[in-house]
Amino acid sequence: MNRAKYLSAVFIGTLVYVLLSVSFGQNSLHCYKQMEEQKMLISKQTTEIQNINSELSLELAALQSDRAVIAAYAHKLDYVSDGEKLVKINGLKPAQTTLYDTGKVLRHEEPEYIPEKYCKIAGLFFGFLCALVLFLYDLNRGTIVFGKNRKPIVTGIPVYDLPQV
């Protein structure tokens, strides 16, 4: 029975180590969740940048081939073609050009986790603590006795010291 008690202390220490490692360790569920969130942010940012890229590609194609678009951009830059007359009106704001917001720069962030050695130390600590509690319990019950208070162990044929009549 004593062995089973102390093996349960080893089991509890191992269980604490495994639970900490699976929950908060380097390859844990917590790290997996953090990396999934980061992946979603990067995916969203990538989609936005791809949309901006396709819009800019369309504008580039229009500027390279469509004469009306080229003329409109030239007028925005205060260019006039032959035969056109320039009329300046004071007090009006200049036309604003479209600025594309490509978002913020995303950098890889390391997930937060408990190092493996701390998980192992916690498992050992709880295992030794459980073993100590079981040892003190056995000591208190009298199952384990040290020194002169030991009861003699009789082996072989029992001999009884009975008074002679």
Is 93's pLDDT higher than 80? no
Q: Give 4-54 pLDDT, tens digit per residue.
A: 888 999 999 999 999 999 999 888 888 999 999 999 999 998 898 898 889
Phi-psi region of 78 (alpha: psi -120 to 50; beta: other; left: phi over 0): left
Nearest CA among 52, 59, 57, 39 for reference residue 102 = 52
At 149, list the tokens.
Answer: 């208070």
At 90, list the tokens.
Answer: 């004071």
Mapping DSSP to helix (H, G, I), strand (E, B) and coil, where does residue 75 land? helix
What pLDDT shows up at residue 153? 67
Query: Any residues with CB less than 8 A from the CB of 126 and at least 6 apart, and which?
Result: 12, 13, 16
Amino acid at 89: I
pTM of the predicted protein model: 0.57
At 112, list the tokens.
Answer: 């937060």
Q: Which DSSP state fits 147?
A: G
